């Protein structure tokens, strides 16, 4: 049975210095489904996520999260974000950061459970800026999930991870999906998209140029070929 979408974005438009970054992007995301956004560098994926989390105000179009606008109290309480990078110079430790974030939510996940599930324990008391890229990714993912979001944005969650860490992240993301969370995932890894995504949206120059399930999109060629056929990549 199809559930109602928790994210509905229509004709979203943003430009920076007169240059369009989002040029009429449409997207929906539903509970218990992984919706992948694939696109070349500079296609507008992160800008779209920033619009959905209230960090960038679109010039036109609409974004509805659980019936509320981005940045509203309702949306903030129910939406999690794993950004591509966070304040990497911070001296805060993962333990402090996660306990601080947990206090922002009414019914957070126990931090100890997340720390254990994501293997953060050995570096829980190390300042964030001293962590490896992969360790920082684990902390960022924990931060996105600590508030038990109904919708979570994962912006390149496995970029730079080794194979084992990547598979661990895939398993966790699949568990989160099975718990009924709507997941919007960006990745440059076509294998990751083919493995995880329920629906793929290919984004080029700020708009969706192809969408469908992996099976629908890859009837004749693999996902990499579909990506290349539907993108130009001249905006990086
Ligand atoms: N704050 C900003 N000021 C000016 N230009 C910006 C800003 N944020 C994004 N852009 C531009 O908007 C376009 C889209 O960038 P965005 O980061 O959304 O792409 P992306 O698809 O996430 O790329 P990548 O795959 O490399 O992460 C790019 O041309 C980028 O240079």
- 65: domain CATH number is 3.40.50.300
Tell me: pLDDT of 86 over 90.
no
37 C-alpha to ligand 1 centroid (Å): 14
Tell whether 173 and 71 lie within a shared domain. yes
Task: Note the pLDDT tens digit of each residue in 29-68.
Answer: 999 999 999 999 999 999 999 999 999 999 999 999 999 9
Q: Which atom of ligand 1 is nearest to the CA of 203?
A: 21
ipTM value for the complex: 0.97
Residue 110 CB contacts under 8 Å (≥ 6 apart), including other chains: none
Encoded tokens for 201: 């949206």
Tell whether 155 and 223 lie within a shared domain. yes
Tell me: pLDDT of 102 over 80.
yes
Tell whether 72 and 154 lie within a shared domain. yes
Residue 2 within any structural domain of the chain: no
Residue 61 within any structural domain of the chain: yes
126 C-alpha to ligand 1 centroid (Å): 31
Tell whether 117 and 12 lie within a shared domain. no
Tell whether 162 and 222 lie within a shared domain. yes
Sign of the torsion angle spanned by Cα atoms 67, 178, 95, 93: negative
Task: Give the Cα-Cα-Cα angle 119, 185, 206 (nearest 5 degrees).
Answer: 145
The conformation of residue 61, written as its DSSP 8-state character, comes to E
Domain that holds residue 62: 7-78+149-230
Residue 162 CB contacts under 8 Å (≥ 6 apart), including other chains: 134
Residue 165 within any structural domain of the chain: yes
- Total of domains in the chain: 2
CA distance 65 to 79: 8
3-state secondary structure of 50: helix
Q: Which atom of ligand 1 is nearest to the CA of 22?
A: 14
Residue 12 within any structural domain of the chain: yes
Residue 84 within any structural domain of the chain: no
Which residues form ligand 1's pocket by a CB distance below 6 Å?
A: 16, 21, 39, 41-47, 235
- Unique residue bearing structure tokens 């294998």: 191
Tell whether 119 and 175 lie within a shared domain. no
Q: Which residues pair with 151 in a beta bridge?
A: 79, 182
Task: Note the pLDDT tens digit of each residue in 8-22.
Answer: 999 999 999 999 999
Tell me: pLDDT of 146 over 60.
yes
Residue 235 within any structural domain of the chain: no
Tell whether 73 and 181 lie within a shared domain. yes
Tell whether 127 and 156 lie within a shared domain. no
Q: Which atom of ligand 1 is nearest to the CA of 84?
A: 27
The per-residue pLDDT for 236 is: 47
Q: Among 99, 115, 139, where does a domain finish? A: 139
């Amino acid at each position: 049975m199809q559930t109602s979408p928790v994210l509905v974005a229509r004709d979203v438009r943003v430009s920076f210095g007169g240059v369009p970054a989002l040029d009429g992007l449409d997207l929906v995301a539903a509970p218990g489904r992984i919706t992948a956004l694939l696109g070349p560098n500079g296609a507008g994926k992160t800008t779209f996520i920033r619009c959905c989390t209230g960090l960038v105000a679109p010039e036109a179009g609409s974004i509805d999260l659980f019936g509320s606008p981005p940045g509203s109290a309702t949306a903030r309480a129910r939406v999690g974000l794993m950004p591509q990078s966070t304040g990497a110079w911070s001296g805060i430790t993962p333990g402090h950061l996660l306990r601080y974030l947990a206090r922002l939510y009414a019914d957070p996940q126990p931090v100890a459970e997340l720390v254990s599930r994501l293997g953060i324990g050995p570096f829980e008391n190390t300042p964030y800026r001293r962590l490896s890229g992969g360790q920082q990714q684990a902390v960022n993912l924990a931060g996105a999930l600590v508030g038990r979001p109904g919708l979570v944005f994962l912006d390149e969650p496995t970029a730079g991870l080794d194979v084992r860490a990547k598979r661990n992240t895939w398993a966790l993301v699949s568990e989160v999906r099975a718990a009924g969370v709507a997941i919007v995932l960006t990745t440059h890894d076509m294998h990751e998209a083919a493995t995880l995504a329920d629906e793929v949206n290919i984004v080029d120059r700020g708009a969706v140029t192809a969408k469908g399930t992996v099976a629908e999109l890859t009837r004749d060629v693999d996902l990499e070929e579909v990506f290349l056929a539907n993108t130009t990549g001249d905006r990086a």
